[in-house]
């Protein structure tokens, strides 16, 4: 169900003809999926008259600003001409060019205002837009609340306003019951969504904070409280767009606005981290990796990690942000299989997520020198992962070295074995531990050493300490 707010209907009088026709075409194409709360229609009629002058009023304001800019430009040219001893004729010629340009721009503004103004709009019997809108709205407007339900809703709206619970608390200064408008729209939307048992796309140009989640000043979907209340009442999902987002996504000739379509507009990506808005992704990674550091993530058991994934989905700072861009199920997948899957490699300094870890290891050079000695170094552009590895060189020879946690021993052996085939130098594996690890028992070391020697592989054991990440991308830095 696609629900339109009163401000979108009113803005049909303000939009250019092209935008107006596009939105009306979408409403018509949606058919039974298009719906307007009764309260939204009440507000449409209440504010329609004051909206009608908007195109011409805006044009007059623009003309006044243009005239002011023309005077400023004229004064600047006059001052410059005087300081550079420019002949009066040349000065007047330049000013004339400016005046001609400003006159043309003002004429364009006036013509656009005339085109955007609905002819005879004040007469409802002759208002072409109202006639078309009435046809579109037929059978698509919700019923009014009963008197008793309306009274209860007004009390709830007042309570929410005092408690600053969304939506509507930003309108509490309005006279009488006018401040309850947003909540009445919301309640009627919830009732209809519950009746239909469907997801809802709410199209509104109300940009106040009691509707939208904002990240660095940008609207990023409905507030978490609204999403939670909607799911609790309907067991379905809530999405929000401004009219511009709807126009960008919808094709009136083939209307297929489902959750997937909505997500493509609300977010830059639906699933992968590489397409999340960069600032949003950075904020999420910084928060996840900060918490992972505090939790000693590497030492949590599988059940503890599963529980933490759930907590992150429910966390307003993590799941709340992701739910503005994807479903709850996909949010969990993104956390588990994108962000946290990269955490171990990021701690090694590998991959695009390495700047977001609080602590990290010293890097491949520490591994190389522990195995080969101080005269050896990492060969440029030779580091890689799966498993972590690099080539070491002393200028005369080159060796393959791979390393990882004791639980990755089989992977390390497999990678090193492949290198024994065509490598002149003996490959090496390094089993690494860190503070807090139980380490490798003496018996395990003996077995691993025997297996490695029989395979022509050198094996080493290295205990590593973490250091503050020198690349740490603190938010806002």
Q: 343-374, pLDDT tens digit by residue?
A: 888 898 877 888 999 999 988 999 999 999 99
Residue 263 pLDDT greater than 60, yes or no: no
Give the whole-angstrom CA distance, residue 28 versus residue 121: 21
What's the confidence (pLDDT) of residue 3?
94
Q: In whole angstroms, what separates CA 263 from the centre of its chain?
A: 10
- Residue 152 has a pLDDT of 93
Q: Please give the Cα distance from 285 to 146 (Å, whole number).
A: 48
Least confident residue range of 120-134, 166-180, 287-301: 120-134
Looking at residue 216, its pLDDT comes to: 60
Q: Tokens in use for 181?
A: 């408008």
Higher pLDDT residue, 426 or 99? 426
pLDDT value, residue 123:
53
Which DSSP string do the residues of 405-416 spell out, in sequence order? -GGGHHHHHHHH
Residues 381 and 392: their CA atoms lie apart, in Å, by 11
Show the tokens assigned to 460: 């080493």
Structure confidence at residue 30 (pLDDT):
86
State the pLDDT at residue 71: 80
Single out the residue of 286, 252, 416 nearest to residue 356, CA to CA: 286
- Residue 452 structure tokens: 């490695």
Q: What is the mean pLDDT of residues 319-327?
A: 84
Q: For residue 404, what are its two tokens?
A: 């990882």
Specify burial of residue 37 (Cβ count, 10 A radius: 0-12, 13-18, 19+).
Answer: buried
Is residue 57 scored above 70 in pLDDT?
no
Q: Residues 361, 364, 367, CA angle at the centre, nearest 5°? A: 90
Q: Name which of 279-283, 306-310, 323-327, 330-334 the model is least confident about.
A: 323-327
- In angstroms, the first-to-last Cα distance of the chain is 42
**For all residues of the chain together, what is the average pLDDT?**
82
**Residue 184 banded pLDDT, cuts 50, 70, 90:** very high
Partners of 401 in the β-ladder? 390, 428
Return the pLDDT at 58.
62
The stretch 90-105 carries a mean pLDDT of 80
Dump pLDDT digits (tens) for 377-413: 999 888 887 788 999 999 999 999 999 888 889 889 9
Express as a percent the part of the chain with pLDDT over 90.
29
C-beta of residue 413 within 8 angstroms of C-beta of residue 457: yes
Within 358-476, strands assigned E span: 359-360, 377-378, 388-393, 398-404, 428-434, 458-464, 467-468
pLDDT for 181 beyond 50: yes
Predicted confidence band of residue 262 (pLDDT cuts 50, 70, 90): very low
Res 120 pLDDT > 50: no
Q: Which pLDDT value is given to residue 259?
A: 46
Counting beta carbons within 10 angstroms of the beta carbon of residue 180, is it exposed (0 to 12), middle (13 to 18) or buried (19 or more)?
buried
Residue-level pLDDT at 94:
82
Give the pLDDT of residue 268. Answer: 28
User: What is the distance between the alpha carbons of residues 438 and 80, in angstroms, rounded to a whole number?
Assistant: 79
Q: Say if residue 220's pLDDT is above 80.
A: no
Q: Is 211 helix (H, G, I), strand (E, B) or coil?
A: coil
**Mean pLDDT of the 323-334 span:** 83
pLDDT for the residue 272: 40
SS3 173: coil
The confidence score (pLDDT) of residue 345 equals 84
For residue 44, count CB atoms less than 10 angstroms from its CB and return exposed for 0-12, middle for 13-18, buried for 19 or more: buried
- DSSP letter for 68, please: H
pLDDT tier, 270 (very low <50, low <70, confident <90, very high otherwise): very low
């Amino acid at each position: 169900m696609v629900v339109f707010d009163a401000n979108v209907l009113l803005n049909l009088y303000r939009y250019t003809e092209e935008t107006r026709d596009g939105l009306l075409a979408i409403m018509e194409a949606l058919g039974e999926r298009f719906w307007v709360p009764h309260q939204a229609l009440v507000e449409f009629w209440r504010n329609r008259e004051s909206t009608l002058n908007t195109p011409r009023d805006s044009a007059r304001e623009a003309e006044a600003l243009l005239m002011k800019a023309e005077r400023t430009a004229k004064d600047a040219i006059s001052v410059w001409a005087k300081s550079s001893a420019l002949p009066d004729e040349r000065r007047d010629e330049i000013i004339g060019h400016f005046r001609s340009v400003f006159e043309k721009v003002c004429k364009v503004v006036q013509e656009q205002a005339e085109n955007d103004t609905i002819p005879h709009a004040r007469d409802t019997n002759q208002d072409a837009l109202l006639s078309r809108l009435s046809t579109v709205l037929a059978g698509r407007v919700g019923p009014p609340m009963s008197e008793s339900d309306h009274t209860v809703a007004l009390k709830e709206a007042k309570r929410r306003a005092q408690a600053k619970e969304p939506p509507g608390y930003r309108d509490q200064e309005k006279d009488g019951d006018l401040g309850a408008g947003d909540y009445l729209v919301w309640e009627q939307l919830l009732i209809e969504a519950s009746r239909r048992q469907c997801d809802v796309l709410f199209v509104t140009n109300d940009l106040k904070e009691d509707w939208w989640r904002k990240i660095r000043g940008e609207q990023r979907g409905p507030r978490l409280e609204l999403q939670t209340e909607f799911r609790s009442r309907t067991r379905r999902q809530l999405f929000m767009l401004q009219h511009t987002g709807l126009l960008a996504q919808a094709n009136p000739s083939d209307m297929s606005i489902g959750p997937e379509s909505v997500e493509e507009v609300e977010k830059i990506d639906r699933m992968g981290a590489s397409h999340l808005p960069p600032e949003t992704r950075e904020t999420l990674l910084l928060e996840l990796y900060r918490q992972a550091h505090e939790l000693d993530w590497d030492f949590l058991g599988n059940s503890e990690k599963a529980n933490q994934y759930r907590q992150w989905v429910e966390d307003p700072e993590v799941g709340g942000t992701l739910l503005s861009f994807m479903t709850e199920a996909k949010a969990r997948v993104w956390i588990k299989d994108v962000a946290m899957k990269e955490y171990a490699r990021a701690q090694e300094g590998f991959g695009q997520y390495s700047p977001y870890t609080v602590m990290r290891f010293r890097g491949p050079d520490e591994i190389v020198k522990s195995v080969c000695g101080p005269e050896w170094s990492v060969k440029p552009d030779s580091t890689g992962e799966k498993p972590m590895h690099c080539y070491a060189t002393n200028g005369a020879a080159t060796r393959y070295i791979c390393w990882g946690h004791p639980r990755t021993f089989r992977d390390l052996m497999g990678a090193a074995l492949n290198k024994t085939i065509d490598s002149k130098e003996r490959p090496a594996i390094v089993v690494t531990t860190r503070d807090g690890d139980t380490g490798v028992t003496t018996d395990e070391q003996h077995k691993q050493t025997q297996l490695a020697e029989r395979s022509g592989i050198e094996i080493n054991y290295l205990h590593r300490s973490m250091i503050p990440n020198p690349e740490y991308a603190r938010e806002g830095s």
